[in-house]
Amino acid sequence: MRLCVSVPCFFGNMNFTDAIRSVKACGYDAVETWGWEGLDLKETRRVLDDCGVEMLDMCTSEFDMTDSAKRVIYLDGLKKSCEAAQVLGVKKLITQVGPDTGAARVMQHEAIVETLRQAAPILKAADVQLMVEPLNSYVDHKGYYLTSSLEGAEIIREVNDPQVKMVYDIYHMQIMEGNIIPNLTAELDTIVHLHAAGNPGRHEPWLGETDYKNVMAAAEKAGYKGMLGLEYLPVMDPMESLKECRRIYG
């Protein structure tokens, strides 16, 4: 399985283009990031091309889909994120859905589905895929609405558009659900990207309770063709941690 490095986790204090070079020096050829608005897009694309590194994905600038009154703001932000993605050669955007507003969950669920349906033509025109991300609300994202990959898969199937899929973050779902291999493989028709970190602590994958070799093997056996994004906070020197991760997981 091809590995992808989340730049802010390892080199958050470094100039982004220097970080790309550091990732390449560790033997990787794919990166992802969170916010894109502070990047020099053209210079970043130049360095990516020079280094032979793919920018796999980044986050949208807006995240709020649980409140239908904010739909226009979300869709306008999505258009800008798609424009930035085209400059960088990015084919996937990660989005969150926003906080639990306190309204009935069925209403928030329907608001998310409708926003994603309206997002689909924007995505198609830009040739970009959107990945919805369930997160944990116990440790890192208190108050977040979408904490279940099961509901995430339901949303993706209701939207029923190839431009809208899910990123399955193994760390977050280990905290919220466990049962990683059965859930991941059952939802594989909705998943186009994986994230990895060790739990507890969100550190090196091999330091936590999840056997990532088994998870990766099961995903590949079930037909998964995407990447595994390394989105952990290293306790080792960042470059040494990435080299060790590549040694262990390929």
Residue ranges of the alpha helices (H) in the chain? Answer: 7-11, 16-25, 41-51, 71-88, 105-126, 149-159, 170-176, 180-186, 212-221, 238-249
Low-confidence ranges of the chain (pLDDT < 70): none
What pTM value is reported for the model?
Answer: 0.96
Is residue 60 within 8 A of residue 34, CB to CB? The reply is: no
Going along the chain from its start, the domains and CATH numbers come out as: 3-249 (3.20.20.150)
pLDDT digits (tens, 9 = 90+) for 102-160: 999 999 999 999 999 999 999 999 999 999 999 999 999 999 999 999 999 999 999 99
State the DSSP code for 6.
E
pLDDT at residue 147, as a whole number: 98
pLDDT at residue 250, as a whole number: 86
pLDDT at residue 54, as a whole number: 98
